[in-house]
Amino acid sequence: MPKRILIVDDEEMIADMMEQTLLEEGYSARKTTQSLRFFDEVRDFRPDLVLLDLMMPYLDGSDELQLLALQPDTRDIPIIMITADTTAKGREAEYQAMGVRTVVIKPVDLTELLQLIRATIGAPQ
């Protein structure tokens, strides 16, 4: 069974691009562009990894990280944070304390992202 990756990004085009790339690589991928659906998607899809946009309407990435950390069955899901906020790299240690494995600055280099995914959860199968 392919490893599952949940993409959470309010920019539809970016979410679509990441989803298509992951599917082509052999991962099982699902996306949501609505931060309020985030936790439901995590519970339903049971991802092995979450690609999480930091800046989203309603619930931002920090809020979503706190939701994951509160639940025993979700607190250990690895997170790769994706953001257009160029200052986020300077706060990477803070985010890592909240469960983030690494921070990727947009625009996303898909080759680099795939390498980070493989380093975090391994090959698709």
Q: What string of DSSP letters covers 78-106? A: -EEEEES-TTGGGGHHHHHTTTEEEEEES
pLDDT digits (tens, 9 = 90+) for 52-109: 998 877 766 777 888 888 888 888 999 999 999 988 888 888 888 888 999 999 999 9
- How is residue 21 written in tokens? 């790339």
pLDDT digits (tens, 9 = 90+) for 5-48: 999 999 999 999 999 999 999 999 999 998 888 889 999 999 99
112: pLDDT confidence band, cut at 50, 70 and 90?
A: very high
User: Which one of 3.40.1160.10, 3.30.43.10, 1.20.1250.20, 3.40.50.2300 gives the CATH number of domain 4-121?
Assistant: 3.40.50.2300
Return the domain boundaries, the chain.
Answer: 4-121
Beta carbons of 101 and 78 less than 8 angstroms apart = yes
For tokens 């991962």, name the residue: 27
DSSP structure class, residue 55: S
| pLDDT of amino acid 16 | 97
What three-state secondary structure class fits 70? helix
Angle at 91 between CA 90 and CA 92, to 5 degrees: 95
| pLDDT of amino acid 51 | 97
What three-state secondary structure class fits 51? strand
